[in-house]
Amino acid sequence: MAEMHYDSIKAVFLALGGFFLFSIVDVFAKWMGQYYSASAILLLCAITGLAMLLPFILWHKGWRGLIPRRPLKYHLWRAVQTAANGLLIVTALKYIPLADYYGIVFATPFVTAIFSVFFFKDHVGWHRWLAIAVGFVGVWVIVSPSYHDFNIGTVMALFVPVTLAINAMLLRKIGKDEYPLMFPLYSFLGLLVFNLPVVFLTGAALPALVHLPLYIPYTAAIIFAIALLGRAFAIAPVTSTVAPLQYSSMLWGTLFGYFFFHELPTWNTWVGAAVIIGAGLYLVHRERAVVLQNTH
């Protein structure tokens, strides 16, 4: 019981750091998305990430460090998930405000809870089903006033919770004994394998030389964010301990959106986000109650 409590606290701090770093990453992706295609941005990100990761892993672990401890198939599925998720996120951020994007993505804990029923046979009582339903109402509140402005960015954002929920399921499958750098390593491999042929076939322009140095802090933030969140999901007693902490992104999205892009959240974004956060916190409360009951 004490170990479970310690793991929960550690997972919370790791996740908060990871979501903050991902907010920094989103700012960069949104800014770069005004000039380059999503595939070009993600390809340079993958190349930079592998150039940073591979030498360190080989120095730290040798060639054995490139071989996962857990079944390879889970890491390969994460590579596919990362490629899809990267395309969805960068495209969404190009077309919609940061706060709206985060408000929609806040549906991730609810999608994760639904997936956990099918992947892990988790029991979801009527309290949690009600919280899930209310959470999706919150997403509708954010999106519905913008139906006349419904664009590809909104569509992409609506699919992000699905890919993030799949990631959470795969991380639970992999478990907490995996070498942490395996998580960003296979993420970058997925981005490289998918985006290299896309850029080659479409002739998409690569980032200009003046922008290339920016990829070092950008990619470093991704590496640390993936590693922190990967570890957080792996050691958390239940997925819901970590997933709702994504709500902290709303603070960063509002601040960064205002200072960097002169964006202010609309009333429906605030109302919808409040509904989603309230439902998410109740979902966490119910899942923790179930965990505590099962431990007695």
Q: What is the 3-state secondary structure (H, E, C) of the chain?
A: CHHHHHHHHHHHHHHHHHHHHHHHHHHHHHHHCCCCCHHHHHHHHHHHHHHHHHHHHHHHHCHHHHCCCCCHHHHHHHHHHHHHHHHHHHHHHHHCCHHHHHHHHCCHHHHHHHHHHHHHCCCCCHHHHHHHHHHHHHHHHHHHHHHHHCCHHHHHHHHHHHHHHHHHHHHHHHCCCCCCCHHHHHHHHHHHHHHHHHHHHHCCCCCCHHHHHHHHHHHHHHHHHHHHHHHHHHHCCCHHHCHHHHHHHHHHHHHHHHHHHCCCCCHHHHHHHHHHHHHHHHHHHHHHHHHHHHHC
- Per-residue confidence in pLDDT tens, the chain, 296 aa: 555 556 677 888 888 898 899 899 999 999 998 889 999 999 999 999 999 999 999 998 888 878 887 788 889 999 999 999 999 999 999 888 888 888 888 888 788 878 777 766 666 666 677 777 777 777 777 776 554 466 788 889 989 999 988 888 888 788 767 888 888 899 999 999 999 999 999 888 888 888 888 889 989 998 888 778 877 877 776 666 676 777 788 788 888 888 888 887 777 777 888 888 887 777 766 666 655 555 55
